[in-house]
Structure 1
Amino acid sequence: MFEFLGQPAGFDIGETGPWLFSAEQPLWQAFGVGLSNTLRVSLPAIVLAVTLGTVLGLGRLSALPLPRRLATLVVEAVRNVPLLVQLLMWYFLMVEWLPEPMEALHLLPGVLLSKGGLAFPWWDAAQGGWSIPVQETFNVQGGAAVTPEYLAVLLALGFYTAAFIAEVVRAGVLSVPRSLLEAAETLGASSAQIRWKVLLPQALRAIRPPLTNQLLNLIKNSPLAVAVGYPDLVSVGNTTLNQTGRVFECILLMMAIYLLLSWTVALLMGWSDRRIGGQERA
């Protein structure tokens, strides 16, 4: 049924990350590169979403009017604009508004941003040292780089999911009974102790289940990357089914891989939930 995966791909993949791939390699390796690209953008997007979502969620609970209103504005704006629209916005922002590579923006020492993507320092094992991006006459040389397509997908997934995680965090904190905090204060606990020993552990119990759903949604939303030409698993799968005509097999394989990814995330979150719960009971 899947014997076609052993035949040569017959197409190149524009972005392969750390892997080397050519059209002569088998189709199963092409799917491997597509899966690698999906994970390469989804995992950093999860980190961005959780970090930014936590900041925004706590910002919405701030006693200060300015950060509370700013956080509310960001959350409501991002949540109510379709992800595809945001993805296209980030992409065209990258390719239209950023300067050309010969005039790249220097964000940090050795970190350059342009229409060609983001260049940053990287360990060069062959040279035995760090390779630092350098501004040349026509482009940026050295270091490692990610494409505008990658950046657009990363930022769109990260910001969109962060808006929903912010509401999860806010609801989790508000779910902690006020009487519990007052009891800790009566017993002489400091503000820091109340926050880290009482409020946070209790809030995490309510946060973890909906947080798992948002992380699963992020992975399931990643196929929208095809809209900007990022070669993720679905993009490779679409090219493969057009090349081979094996539509059912290709779609079944993509479904199985995404199902496996979702199960993996759910199992990891469930494991962490049981581990943290066991520590709390201990």
Structure 2
Amino acid sequence: MCRWLAYSGSPVLIEDLLYKPKHSLIVQSLSSELGAEPTNGDGFGVGWYGRPETPGLFRSAEPAWNDRNLRDLATHIESPLVFSHIRASIGSPVQQTNCHPFRHGRWLWMHNGYLDGFASMKRDLMMAVDADLFPSIEGSTDSELFFFLALTFGLTEDPPAAVARAVGLIEETARRHGVGFPVQMTVATTDGETIWGFRYSSEGRSRSLFHSTDVSTLRHQYPDNPVLHGLSDETRLVVSEPLGDLRGAWREVPESTCVIVHGGSEELRAFQPELGA
């Protein structure tokens, strides 16, 4: 599938997130340990928040490990909230408009997984997107359409409820088309202040997802680790797989769970689709 990370905390150079960790996202683009496949070379994207109202976005169809522009930008851009995604396509074209994160206004969205039976139910799902939002769809992926369904169902007001309604609609539509387990997802979305991460699949066997633990506790456990002293107490990450092997630094997000990161804290909530949306 794909791999992604979401960071929230004190401003950090994108280079420190993407290149410096032992098992960084760049390393994962070549050699993922927990993904459905080890190589994620079908494009990448980085989204970040700065002075403008809307987030910055850099996407490319090049492999992340081989993009010199990404390396250069990463050494110059600093942000308190960063999304990054490396892509492994399962059929849709390798092109810039199909690379994550996707952006609409202040919102970013990225997805690891797929909608099984997407080709057969694509028209029905497209017709469910709000008419005012529909012209903003640029690519051809199930992931972007999923984003616009969530926007249609109120993502900007109540993200967990909107995603639950979107998943409910997808599963109902899939049943009409004879698809048994349509949704495989770990999703991250943000408005630039809060991060919402979701782990869910129709069959109850979701792709991996982890969140970081409290940095101050880790700093106490590992007083000689210089990396930990460079992070603020508010630092939190949600990732497809751990960026390093420091014991106690990562906790797995349970099945059917939404993790909410805001202001240096995280909250876990049960997540289930809302049927009849």
Normalised to the residue count of structure 1, the TM-score between the two structures is 0.27
Higher strand share: 2
Higher helix residue share: 1
Per the normalisation by structure 2, the TM-score is: 0.27
